[in-house]
């Protein structure tokens, strides 16, 4: 068994990671930590009572390195890079779920903060297997993508050679409340979100430059990405509606099927997709339609599973020479 750690076990993504690791055929959960420690897993997550009993420590890179070959970091940006720097020096492989290693230095610092680990940033691999699977297999540090970029990039990738870069791409995105994290705020309070929907950070969300940068690296086209996210009254799930102009006539479903014919976690639909059909899975569901020179792309994922935890497990599997789908759920949470 491969011994692994989870740092940042208190949040929703930490819980999802732990649930998958417990049932993983090749991983053993050997170290669990938060920034403070001093509790048990069942105190953090009562749903684990009777399933796993484990002390939760105050995060310490040296202690982790004594017990584990690989660490999952479910930490906020800026906090994560400090641990990564230590773990890399201790020869521990890392899947980082924060934003700290997803972007080039200039892009990251323009939207987050000063980067204190540029050396490792230069060697990090972006953890979207459909784009960088071979590089992930050789990586010591993988930057798990953001949830919105995962759904948006997977939807748009097959069409980059057809999109007219002289016109903007508009992305209307919607996510369940779990994407906002465990800490309650005025906008995620039950009274605020129940029977409600609203946009937040239009044209200013940090995932917009992530989508732009990755599409540019793939296509060498500097698309004008206009991204507007919305919070919806759902626990989990994410839906992307993207609108753009194309330069030639295409059959969009045929394009999608050809592009993703060998991808186990991308499903192509003949009609619009929904969030419930992929809830709790690593699938990204995609549909597309054209009207004249206008292209509509519709994609959905589970924001805290494919958009975070199960994608992290897939990346870890590749890094450790395992089957990509090992320990990953593939049956949706539907009635």
Let me know how long the chain is.
335
Q: Which residues pair with 241 in a beta bridge?
A: 172, 298
Question: Counting beta carbons within 10 angstroms of the beta carbon of residue 248, is it exposed (0 to 12), middle (13 to 18) or buried (19 or more)?
Answer: exposed
Cβ neighbours of 219 (radius 10 Å): 16
Whole-number Å distance between alpha carbons of 185 and 180:
9
Beta strands in 35-69 (DSSP E): 39-40, 55-58
Beta strands in 128-236 (DSSP E): 141-143, 169-175, 198-199, 225-231
The single-letter DSSP state of residue 178 is G
Per-residue exposure over 18-40, b if at least 16 CB sit within 10 Å of its own CB, e if not: bbbbeebebbebbbbbbeeeeee
The first and second tokens of residue 112, run together, are 């987050």
Whole-number Å distance between alpha carbons of 272 and 269:
7
Residue 147 annotated among the catalytic residues of the structure: yes
Greatest C-alpha distance within the chain: 61
CA distance to 61, 159, 178, 245, 300, per residue, from 295 (Å): 48, 9, 30, 6, 17
Catalytic, out of 68, 113, 147, 278: 147
Q: Do 286 and 299 form a contact (C-beta atoms < 8 A)?
A: yes
Point out the residues that are catalytic. Answer: 147
């Amino acid at each position: 068994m491969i011994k692994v750690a989870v740092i940042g076990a208190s949040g929703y993504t930490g819980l999802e990671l732990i649930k998958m690791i417990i049932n993983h055929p090749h991983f053993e959960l050997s170290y669990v930590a938060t920034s403070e420690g001093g509790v048990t897993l069942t105190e953090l997550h009562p749903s684990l009572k009777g399933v796993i009993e484990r002390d939760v420590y105050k995060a310490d890179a040296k202690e982790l390195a004594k017990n584990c070959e690989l660490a999952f970091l479910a930490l906020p940006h800026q906090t994560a890079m400090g641990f990564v720097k230590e773990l890399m020096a201790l020869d521990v492989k890392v899947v980082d779920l924060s934003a700290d290693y997803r972007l080039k230095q200039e892009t990251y610092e323009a939207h987050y903060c000063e980067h204190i680990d540029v050396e490792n940033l230069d060697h990090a691999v972006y953890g979207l297997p459909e784009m960088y699977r071979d590089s992930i297999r050789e990586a010591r540090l993988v930057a798990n993508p953001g949830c919105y970029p995962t759904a948006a990039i997977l939807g748009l990738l097959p069409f980059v050679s057809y999109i007219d870069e002289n016109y903007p791409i508009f992305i209307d995105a919607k996510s369940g409340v779990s994407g906002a994290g465990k800490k309650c705020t005025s906008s995620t309070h039950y009274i605020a979100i129940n029977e409600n929907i609203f946009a937040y950070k239009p044209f200013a969300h940090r995932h917009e430059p992530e989508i732009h940068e990755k599409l540019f690296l793939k296509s060498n086209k500097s698309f004008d990405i206009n991204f507007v996210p919305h919070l919806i009254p759902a626990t989990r799930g994410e839906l992307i509606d993207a609108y753009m102009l194309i330069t030639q006539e295409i059959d969009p479903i045929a394009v999608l099927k050809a592009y993703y014919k060998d991808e186990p976690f991308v499903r192509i639909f003949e009609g619009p997709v929904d969030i419930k059909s992929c809830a709790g899975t690593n699938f990204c569901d995609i549909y597309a339609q054209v009207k004249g020179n206008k292209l509509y792309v519709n994609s959905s994922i589970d924001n805290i599973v494919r958009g975070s935890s199960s994608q992290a497990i897939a990346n870890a599997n590749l890094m450790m020479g395992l089957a990509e789908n090992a320990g990953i759920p593939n049956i949706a949470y539907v009635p």
